[in-house]
Structure 1
Amino acid sequence: MNKMVILVTTSLFSAFLFGTIKTNAQTTGYQVISNQSASRVAPYHNANNESHYIWNLSHTIKLHNLENFSTTTWTLERVAILSHNGKKAVYFNVTDRTGQFSGWVWHGFLKGGPYQYHEDSNADGLNLSDPANTRDFSMLGNYIYGKLSADGYLAQPDLMKLTQYYGTRHTNNLNTPFKDAIMSENMTLDPTNLVGIFEYPVSDLTKMIDPNTGDILLEDTGNGELGNTVTAQIENFLKANHTTRYGLWFNLSGSASNGTLSLDLVYMGIKN
């Protein structure tokens, strides 16, 4: 009789246990349709300050609440499609910059671009791509040349050729004297009147983009200061050498989101 009681009790307990597990699975009901790496690593921030959860991939465990990360810039790493009750939704796998917090969140709870710390009256509004490409090169160049022209500075053709000479071949020609470079390129410049700055790459790019906090990602949102900082740097150099004629060469490459964004910069002037 006691054995029967034990068997019945055990059976009831097993039925209760597995029944509970089955019910939880039915309640969750999320299926992973696809899960793949993001086409490009990109920064995101919260779309609003409301309470939205970051989940594990199977959508069974709440890992974090977005309202506790109102100033965080998230990095998109993977994209998944989950199905629930016959409806499909896109989820982003994101990680904060420290790598301590990560998980899956419905894509509509995030907005593209890094969190903006402040409104910057000196922002250039360029919205560079990530990684930088030829479009960004043209956009930054047009911005700088336009600002210099508006401020009364003139691009001198031979100086433009000379800066290109040192810029595109700087690994071999960095120590080439001005007079030798001028002769090799058939230019009509007086080498004794030339001054120049050569940076391969610039050493303080983060501060050039965001002097306050050094957030390099701001240049991807139009809130960086790179265009204005480079322009001001060149103008200060020309003013110090009492000239309005300049030559400029630069190269922009790499990615802000993975920390490889780089700017090579050469500018020269003719002393009056």
Structure 2
Amino acid sequence: MKKLFLLALVTLGLVTATSLPVSGNTTTKTPNTTTTATTTDPSYVWTKVLSRNTAVAYHAKSKSAVYLWNATHTKRVHNLKNYPNTTWYVKNSVVMQHGNKSHVYYEVYNYGNAADGFIWRGYLTKGVNPSQRALAAKGVIKLSSERSLQFFQDNLTTLASLPQSQFQKLVTDQVAAKLTKSVSDTKLDAMAKILATQDISTRDAAVKAGVTNPKTTNFTVKQVDPKTMTGYYSYWAKYRTTNALHYYAAVVASHVSGLTGNSVNGHYGLYIVPDTTAKTWKPQITIVTD
């Protein structure tokens, strides 16, 4: 029988801004779907997330129609042409890959937090909007504890809204980086995927993957809901970070560490099981150890 551990995963949305634009392998061309369609091919894949410690002011380079998008780049949420006098503050930076090209997108919000979304950084220029009449506009906003916590929670929600494959890649890469003393095993990974996608026994999966004497543990992530989340606040209070991805990885890594501590060689395999039936997906994570 497989053991189920309920893990409360969290709300997320991303976070604060820093004084420098994020570097990345970006192209100089404008992402061509940004101004041509209301919805696009959902093939913008998050490959990197960078949190920020301050909110830095930017504004649109021109008064042309450019758009803020949702996190998956499938829906326009705001047209900057309708905000000619607005200063936008950067919450996070995300590297999105589209085909074989990568672009840095900023998650931005206006000062009143009435509008936010993701935009290719090439459409923005750093600084307070010259047309803004509000004298209180600042080039850099130091985050209060309340705003930092809110960004962290928003960050959690945003991450949970990503396609499962993207969520899995982001989390597992972070987990692998944390578990420097443990060794990921491709055979165990293969076995985890077999268990996750086929209704067969642990023994049969082990034979098929060529693994000897494996142990498996499954735990599911609860629906993202502030009322049921556990652990996220104490984590934030300790680290004061807006990087929710690190929180997810820390929780998963703690489970892996507990299991590999009693394993033979400390090898592990990790796989997030797709759940395409639920309206709000609740991934089951399978851990395999030797």
Q: If the length of structure 2 is used for normalisation, what is the TM-score?
A: 0.41
Answer with 1 or 2: which has the greater Rg. Answer: 1
Structure having the larger proportion of residues in helix: 1
Instruction: Determine which structure has greater relative contact order: mean sequence separation of CA pairs < 8 Å that are 6+ residues apart, divided by chain length.
Output: 2
